[in-house]
Structure 1
C-alpha cells in the first residue's frame, strides 16, 4: 500500500533538521514512534510514494507547511474530556482560585479549543469568569483559528452534553450554543476573556504568571528531556500555590519538579508548594 511504511528512522532525523533550519519549527524532541506513525500517515493521505517526494514538498512549498504541522502535532480533543477531571476543577480548584482578585489561566497546546470553552463554562458557573483571563495557545495557527470561531459539529453535542453532566454541570448544555444545521456556534460571551495566540512549547519562553496551567495530552508525544524542559517552563510561569493540570497518561512523578508539587486527589492536578 502506498505510504504504509515509507518513512524510515534515518529519514525522520533528516526531515526534522530540514524543517528546523528552514522554518524554525523544532520537532527534534518529539517521540520518534509517534512521528514515524504520523509521517507515514501523511504519505498515505497525500499520496507521497517516497520520502524524497515528501521532503521536496515540505521544503519547496511553504504553503504546505501548515498542513504538515497540523499532521505532526496531534489535534485530538473534546469538551469535558475525562469528566471527573473537570469535576475536580469545579469542586477543588476553582473555589481556591475564587479567593484571588484576578485569575490568569493558560491552556497550552489547546488545539481546536474544545477545552477552552469547557473551562469558560466552568468559570461562568462558578461566577469567576468576569475576573479571569484565559490564554489559549497552540503551535498551529490553523487550529487556533478554528478555536476562535467556536464552531463545532452538532453530532458531538450529545457526547459533550453527557460529559458536561458527569462533570457536575446542572444547566441545559444547549444554553451555551446556537445550532445551525450540522454545526453549532458557542456563544461569543464565552470567549470575551480568551486570548488566542501561537506559542511553541519547544522554543518559546514564559510570557506571564498564572494561577492555573492546563496542558493535557500533549506531553505524551514528547521525549523525556523535552518533557522536563516544558515542566520547567510551566514552573517558571506558575505562581506559588498555583495549579498544574496534565492529561490522564501524564505525570509529574519522576520529573525534575516532583518534590516541588503536591498532587490534589486522584486527578492529574498538582499544586505548587510554597
Structure 2
C-alpha cells in the first residue's frame, strides 16, 4: 500500500474533523460512509465552493448554517433516472406485484429518494398495475434540497427521452407522456402522482424504523456506506418489512456478507430483489 504524503495525512485529519463537526453541530453523520467516496466529494466541494483547505470549509460550515445544504449537495449527490435499470422495474411489475395484489393496503418506502426519479417510477408502475390508490409511498432522504426537488417533480426535458425509453423497456402499459406536461424546456410530472406520497427527512445512519412496509427500494445508496453502516441500514429494513415483504437493492449491492442475510431469501436474484422470511 502506498504511504500517504505529509499533505495527504493532514488532509485526512481535516476530513475526519469536518465529519465530526458536521455530526456534532448538525447531526448529519457521514463518519461511517466509504472514505474514498467521501474524500473525493469533499475535495470537489472544497474546490468548487472556493476554499483553500478542508479546514477553511469546516470553519464556514460551523459558523454559517447556510453552507450546510450546499455541502450536503456534494456528500449526497446521486445520479439517477426514471426506471433506471428497466429490468429491475420489470421484475417488480411481473414478479413482486402479483404478491402485493393480495394485500388490502400497501406501504412502499423509497429510501434515499434523491431527486425523486425512482419514486415516480414506482408510483407510475403502481398506477399502471391498479395498486396506487391502496398504496402509501414514503420518500425519504437526508438532503432537504433533494426532497424539495423530488416533491416538485420537475426535470429537464432533455432527460425525458431516456426516461421514456426506460419506461418502455420496464414493461410500461402507457406512454410516459401521459404523466407530465412539457413547457420551457422542462417536464412537470402530474401532481396526482404525489397524492399518495409522504416526503420526509430520514437518515439510515441515525434514525429508527417508522412504519411496517411491504416493499422497500433502496438502490445505489449503500455503496457509499462502510460494512457496519450497511449492516445498520439492512437491520432497519429487516425491522421495517412485513413478513414476506420485499427489498430491492442496487446492482452493485448485496446482502451476501451481512449479518442480516439469513432473514432474507433471494426472490429475483439477478435484479437484487429479496423477500423477508416469514418469521
Common topology (TM > 0.5): yes
1:269 alignment partner in structure 2: 273
Which residue, out of 48, 53, 57, partners 1:50? 53
> Is 1:239 equivalent to 2:254 in the alignment?
no
SS of equivalent residue, structure 2 residue 247: strand
2:116 alignment partner in structure 1: 113
> Is 1:137 equivalent to 2:131 in the alignment?
no
1:25 alignment partner in structure 2: 28
Distance 1:22 1:172 in 2: 47
1:84 alignment partner in structure 2: 87
State whether residues 212 and 243 of structure 1, in contact with CA within 8 Å, keep that contact through their aligned partners in structure 2. yes
> Is 1:181 equivalent to 2:184 in the alignment?
yes
Query: CA offset at residue 52 of structure 1?
Result: 2.4
State whether residues 6 and 49 of structure 1, in contact with CA within 8 Å, keep that contact through their aligned partners in structure 2. no
State whether residues 219 and 248 of structure 2, in contact with CA within 8 Å, keep that contact through their aligned partners in structure 1. yes
Deviations 1:119-165 (A, max 9, x none): 01100010000100000000011110111111111100100000001
State whether residues 12 and 36 of structure 1, in contact with CA within 8 Å, keep that contact through their aligned partners in structure 2. yes
State whether residues 105 and 133 of structure 1, in contact with CA within 8 Å, keep that contact through their aligned partners in structure 2. yes
State whether residues 137 and 144 of structure 1, in contact with CA within 8 Å, keep that contact through their aligned partners in structure 2. yes
- Alignment map for 1:91-170 (pairs within 5 Å): 91-170=94-173
* Structure 2 unaligned blocks of 5 or more: 1-7
Count of residues paired in the alignment: 270
Distance 1:40 1:12 in 2: 9
2:18 alignment partner in structure 1: 15
Query: CA offset at residue 7 of structure 1?
Result: 7.5
Comparing 79-88 with 184-193, greater Cα deviation is found at 184-193
Distance 1:127 1:103 in 2: 12
State whether residues 128 and 173 of structure 2, in contact with CA within 8 Å, keep that contact through their aligned partners in structure 1. no
Distance 1:64 1:43 in 2: 12
State whether residues 7 and 40 of structure 1, in contact with CA within 8 Å, keep that contact through their aligned partners in structure 2. no
2:257 alignment partner in structure 1: 254
SS of equivalent residue, structure 1 residue 204: coil
Distance 1:173 1:84 in 2: 17
Distance 1:131 1:82 in 2: 26
Deviations 1:65-112 (A, max 9, x none): 111112111222110000000000000001110110001000000001
Distance 2:10 2:44 in 1: 10
* Structure 1 unaligned blocks of 5 or more: none
Distance 1:250 1:74 in 2: 18
Please, what TM-score do these two structures have when normalized by structure 1? 0.96
SS of equivalent residue, structure 2 residue 121: helix
Which residue, out of 198, 201, 225, partners 2:201? 198
